A and B are shown apart, each in its own frame.
Chain A
Amino acid sequence: MNWETVIGLEVHIQLATASKIFSSAPTAYGAAANEQANAVDIALPGVLPVINRDVIAMATRFGLAIEADITRASVFARKHYFYPDLPKGYQISQYDLPIVAGGHLDIETAEQGARRIGITRAHLEEDAGKSLHEAFDRETGIDLNRAGTPLIECVSEPEIRTAAEAAAYAKKLHALVTYLGICDGNMAEGSFRIDANVSVRPAGSTEFGTRTETKNVNSFRFLEKAIEFEVERQIDVLEAGGSITQETRLFDPDSGETRAMRSKEEAHDYRYFPDPDLLPVVIDEAFIDTQRGHLPELPDAKAARFANEYGLNTADATALTQSRVLADFFEATVAAAGHDKAALGKPAANWINSELAGVLNRDGLSIADAPITATQLGGLIARIQDDTISGKIAKQVFDALVAGEGESADAIIADKGLKQITDTGAIESLVDDAIANNPDQVAQYLDGKTKIVGFLVGQVMKASQGKANPKDVNQRLVAKLDAMK
C-alpha cells in the first residue's frame, strides 16, 4: 500500500523579553537554581499576575509577519494539572481566543516544490519550571527560574507531508522569529522547541490516521530523523495489522528512535477557564500600526531583494537570508568591496557560502562569531576585482585574515608581497621562458591542441609565485604562440 504522511508542528518560541510574562523577575538563562523566581513565579499565596507589555508587542509582530489575524481581545485561560514544577497548579495559557489566529509560511523543498503551510493559531503562555531528577539521590529538585518565561506556541495546520518539509517549515519559522528579534533562536537552550504530530494514512484517503506527538526534538536534523523514524514505525505497525496508539513520544538523539512517553488515555482534563486575575488583552489599530512599523525586512522579502539587487540566484539568496546576522554580513561585505552591487554580489556570496562557511563549519562557529569581519572580506574581494591579486592568492590572503595575521587584505598583501605583477617586461620574459622550456607542449599547440595553453599558463604562474595575472598571461601566450604558426 502507498502511504501518505501527515505532519503538523507545534513550536514553542521563547520570547526574548527582559522579564517574565506575568512577573518582573528576569528571564536570563543560566542563573543558579531558583535565583530568578520571585513571589509571583513560585506562586506564593496572594500574588497576582500582571501581563508584560513587551510580550503583547512581540506576539503582535509575529502575527503580522505570518499575515495572521491579530485578535482584538484575546483571553488568558488557566490550564490545570498538578506537577511539582508547575507552581500554581495551573499554567496561564490561551484557549478559546488566542492572540494570533490563522497565518501561513511559504516553504520550498526539492521533492515537493514550493508550498504554503497554514498556521492554525499562535497563543501566549507561560513556561513551567524544571524538575531535576539527576542531581539528587532518590529525590527531585525543582528549579523555578524558567517558570513564567514567556512563550508563543505556534501550531501549524496538518499540511506538512514530508520530513524535509517539516525541517523547511521549522527553519523558516526559526529565521522569522530571529529576524523579528522576538526569540534568540537558541535551540540547545530550549528557546525554540519543536513537537511533531505525525500520522500516516493510505494515499488518497481524506481521513486522518491516529497521530503521535514526538517531543524533545532540538535540532532541524533531529526533526527530520525523528519524523522519518516515526513514519516508518507507524507504517510497519499498520502493515503488520496493528493500530497506532495516540500517545506522546520522546525522541532519543543517540538511537535516532522515538519511544512512548505517556498515553493520551491518561491525559488530563485540563479544566480550562478564563483567568479571572487577568483582563482580556485589548489591542487597538494604533498599537498594531506601531508594531507594523517595527517589523524588519523579513526573509522572503530580503531574498527577493538580494536576487534583484545583487544578481544572486535563488539558492544563494535563500541561503544568505537564512539568518539576519548572515544577511547583514553579506550586505556589509559587498558594501566594503565597492559600489557595484550587481557585480560584487556573486563573488561575495561565493566567498561567504563556500570559504567562510567552510571555516565556520570546521571550527563549529556561527556567523556571529566569524573570525573575519565583513569589512576584511569586502576589502579582499575589492583587491580581486581590481586585479591586485589573483583568486589563488586571494585564498592565501583569506587564510591569513582568518588566522589573524593582519588587519586587512591590503596589509597582508603588502606584508607578504603578494601583489600581482603588473610589470609587462617581467611577465613577457616569464612567458618567453615558458615557451622556450616546453617545446613539446608548444608543438602540440601548434598542432591544433590549443587547450594545452593552460599548462603553459600554469608554468608562468608557478614561476611568478602566483603573482601574475592568469588572464593577462593567457593572452600573451596565445598571441606569441599564434605568431609562431
Chain B
Amino acid sequence: MHDRSIAELIAAVRSGETTPRALTDHYLDRIERLQPSLNALITRTAEAAHAVADGLDEQSPGALAGLPILHKDIFCTKGVKTSCASRMLDNFVAPYDATVVERLAAAGTVMLGKTNMDEFAMGSSNENSFYGPVKNPWNLAHVPGGSSGGSAAAVAAGLAPAATGTDTGGSIRQPAALCGVTGIKPTYGRVSRYGMIAFASSLDQGGCFARSAADCAHVLSAMAGFDPRDSTSVERDVPDYAAALSGDVAGLRIGLPREYFADGLEADSRAVIDAAVKQYEALGAEVVDIDMPHTDLAVSTYYVIAPAEASSNLARFDGVRYGHRCDAPRDLEDLYTRSRGEGFGAEVQRRIMIGAYVLSAGYYDAYYIKAQKTRRLIAQDFQRAFEHVDLIAAPVTQAPAFKLGEKADDPVSMYLNDVYTLPASLAGVPGMSVPAGFAHGLPVGLQLLAPWFEEGRLLNAGHAYQQATDWHTARPAGFE
C-alpha cells in the first residue's frame, strides 16, 4: 500500500478498494514500528486521525480525500502541540490552524502527526532539535538534512505518502536530496505563510515532500494559493499541477550554471548529476552552460538577512504570554534573559545574536543594506538566466548526507553546506529536488529551478525524469 502513488491511493479510496480509516491505520502502524529508529515525529495524532478518517469515505469531495499526511511542526495545528522543535514551545498548543493545514484538511487529508525539524527551522542536519536528531533512513548514523529532516525521513521511510515542509534557504530541497525523496519549494508568495512560524519572513516558503513529482503536484495544488491573511502571498490562480503533467521535455532548454559545478562538488555526486543531465538530453531537452556570476555572494548574503529577520521574528518569545517561562523570575530583565536563554537552543541563540548585530546602529548599512543589494544581484542572475533557458539544473548539495555529529561543532562549515540552495531562496524562484541516484550508498538529489511561478514546469520536468528512471521508487533497507 505505501508503495503506491498518491493518485493510486486516492483512486483506491474512491473505488472503495480501501477506506480512509484503513489507509490511516496502515501508516499509523508503520509509524508505530519505524518511528523509534528514526525520531522523525515529535507528535503523533492517532486519535484525531481516526476521527477525521472515520468522517471520510469514497464520496468525500476533497481532491485528496483520505490521504494521510504529516505536517512539519512549524505549522500551527489547532489543539495540537506546535513546538517548532524548541523547548521554547514545548508547552505550546496552537489555538488555530495554519492556512496550509486548513487547506490540506479541506482537501480531505488526514493528519497523522507533526514532524521533527531543526529548532525554528535553523539548521541543515536536524541536529538542532530539542527532541533529538532525526536519523537518515538510508543510514541511521547519518543526518537526514534539515531543517525539514523529519518530513523527508518520514516520506523516505514510508511513514506517510506526503509531508509538508518549509524552505528558507534549502530546508525542503536539501533533506529531500539527502533522504532520496522528491521535495518542492514553490515561488515565494505561492503558499501562504499564515500559521507557519516565522524564521525569516522574506525567505520562508511552505512546500511539500512526496515520493514523486506527480505526488508533489497533487499536494501542492491543494496547499497553494492566495491568502488574504498573508500580505506577501500572491493573488494568482493555481493551476491543477497534476492534470498538467505531460512528461514531455522535448525542446526544453536546461541551463547548467558553471558556478554550481565548481571545486566544492564531490566527484561521485557530480557523476550522479551528470548522468541525470544526460537523461534529460536523451529525453529531448537541450542543455547549455550558463553563468550566474553572483552565486558566491549567496552564503554571506543569506547569513545576514535570515538572522536579521529571525532576531526580530523570535522577539515575541519572551515568556510573557505563552511558551517557556523561567522559574521564579526576579524581575523583568531576569524573566527575559532566563526564559529566552533556557528556551532557545545554541544555534537559535547564535542566529539571534548575529541578527541583532547586523541590524544595530552603525552596522545596519554595512551589513543589512549591503545584503539587500547583493540579494538583488543574485535575483538578477536568475532573471538573466531565464531569458535564455527554461529551467536550471544543478546539484542540491556538495556531497551526500554526512554523519551525525560530524559538523555539529562547526557552524560555518554547516552554513557553507547550503551554497547551492541559498541563491534560489534569495531570488524567490521555485526549486525542487528529485532523487537522481546514489553516492557512497546514500541518495543524491538533482536540483531543478524554474522562473517565478513556473512550478508546473518544474513538476513536469521532474515527472518526465521519473517516468524514465526509478531512483524515486527505491526504499531504504529495513523500511520496505
Q: 8 Å CB contacts to A: which residues of B179-231?
A: 193-198, 200-202, 228-231
From A111-119, A274-282, A395-403, the one touching the partner chain is: A274-282
CB distance from A239 to the nearest CB of B (A): 35
Q: Are B360 and A44 in contact (CB under 8 A)?
A: no
B-contact bits for A42-75, CB 8 A (1 contact / 0 none): 1111111111000000000000000000000000
Q: Are B315 and A88 in contact (CB under 8 A)?
A: yes
CB distance from A413 to the nearest CB of B (A): 62
- Interface band, chain A: 20 to 34
Q: Are B95 and A276 in contact (CB under 8 A)?
A: no
- A369 CB-CB contact with B under 8 Å: no
From A77-85, A313-321, A347-355, A371-379, the one touching the partner chain is: A77-85
The contact of A269 among B82, B321, B361, by CB within 8 Å, is: B361
A-contact bits for B402-425, CB 8 A (1 contact / 0 none): 000000000000000000000000
Contacts of A90 in B (CB 8 A): 312, 315
Q: Which of A46, A47, A278 has the most CB of B within 10 A?
A: A46
The contact of A39 among B96, B197, B231, B332, by CB within 8 Å, is: B96
Q: Are B312 and A273 in contact (CB under 8 A)?
A: yes
CB distance from A53 to the nearest CB of B (A): 12
- A485 CB-CB contact with B under 8 Å: no
Given A142-B320, A269-B361, A271-B359, verify A80-B232 contact (CB < 8 Å): no
CB distance from B342 to the nearest CB of A (A): 16
CB distance from B324 to the nearest CB of A (A): 12
Q: 8 Å CB contacts to B: which residues of A81-111?
A: 82, 84, 87-90
- B92 CB-CB contact with A under 8 Å: yes
CB distance from B201 to the nearest CB of A (A): 4
CB distance from B303 to the nearest CB of A (A): 16
Q: Are A46 and B232 in contact (CB under 8 A)?
A: no
Q: Are A44 and B95 in contact (CB under 8 A)?
A: yes
Contacts of A43 in B (CB 8 A): 316, 321
Q: How many residues of B contact A (CB 8 A)?
A: 44
Contacts of A87 in B (CB 8 A): 316, 320-321
Contacts of B95 in A (CB 8 A): 39, 44
A278 to B312, CA, bound (A): 14
A84 to B336, CA, bound (A): 10
A46 to B121, CA, bound (A): 13
A121 to B197, CA, bound (A): 34
Contacts of B321 in A (CB 8 A): 42-43, 87, 142
Please name the 7 residue pairs, one residue from A and one from B, whose CB atoms are nearest each other, closest first. A89-B315, A276-B201, A276-B202, A271-B359, A46-B195, A45-B197, A43-B316
| 24 A-B interface contacts by CB (under 8 A) | A39-B96, A44-B96, A44-B322, A45-B94, A45-B198, A46-B75, A46-B82, A47-B195, A48-B229, A48-B230, A84-B320, A87-B321, A89-B312, A89-B314, A89-B316, A269-B360, A271-B311, A271-B359, A271-B360, A272-B359, A272-B364, A273-B368, A277-B231, A279-B231
B contact residues vs A (CB 8 Å cutoff): 75-76, 82, 84, 89, 92, 94-96, 98, 193-198, 200-202, 228-232, 308-309, 311-312, 314-318, 320-322, 332, 336, 356, 359-361, 364, 368
